[in-house]
Amino acid sequence: DAMVIQNPRYQVTQFGKPVTLSCSQTLNHNVMYWYQQKSSQAPKLLFHYYDKDFNNEADTPDNFQSRRPNTSFCFLDIRSPGLGDAAMYLCATSGDSLMDEQFFGPGTRLTVL
């Protein structure tokens, strides 16, 4: 089945230790998104790729970076995680428009010690 896969499902890191979260998709979608979601809050868009074009949200901290080496894979790098970065990180895709239906992965729960 076509899907969005995130690894790992749970990630524990230490304060200030870089961490990378990964996302892959078999949907062959053009657009890939990274969201941050804290407990009982709405998902907050960090950035998205439209094909190879990277689009950063204005309020996304510099601490967060992303790479999309090919259509299928997208990575979220947190260069120096702080305690406030503990959250669920959701990867999503959509076919050809930022306003289309989005397909979400199961998320990666990040804990910062």
Partner 1 sequence: SQQGEEDPQALSIQEGENATMNCSYKTSINNLQWYRQNSGRGLVHLILIRSNEREKHSGRLRVTLDTSKKSSSLLITASRAADTASYFCATDASGAQKLVFGQGTRLTINP
Q: Answer whether 78's CB lies under 8 Å from 18's CB.
A: yes
> Is position 99 an interface residue for partner 1 (rule: CB under 8 A)?
yes
Closest CA to 55 of 98, 22, 18: 98
The residue from 87, 107, 110, 112 that contacts partner 1 (CB under 8 A) is: 107
Across-strand partners of 47?
A: 34, 56
Q: Is the omega angle on the peptide bond into residue 81 within 30 degrees of 0, that is, cis? A: no
The residue from 24, 87, 105, 112 that contacts partner 1 (CB under 8 A) is: 105
Smallest separation (angstroms) from partner 1 to the CB of 16 = 26
> Is position 103 an interface residue for partner 1 (rule: CB under 8 A)?
yes
Give the nearer residue to partner 1 in terms of CB position, either 45 or 74. Answer: 45
Number of residues that bind partner 1 (CB under 8 A): 21
d(CA 41, CA 68) in angstroms, rounded, equals 27
CA 72 to chain centre: 13
Site residues for partner 1 per CB under 8 A? 4, 6, 40-43, 45, 48, 88, 90, 92, 98-99, 101-107, 109
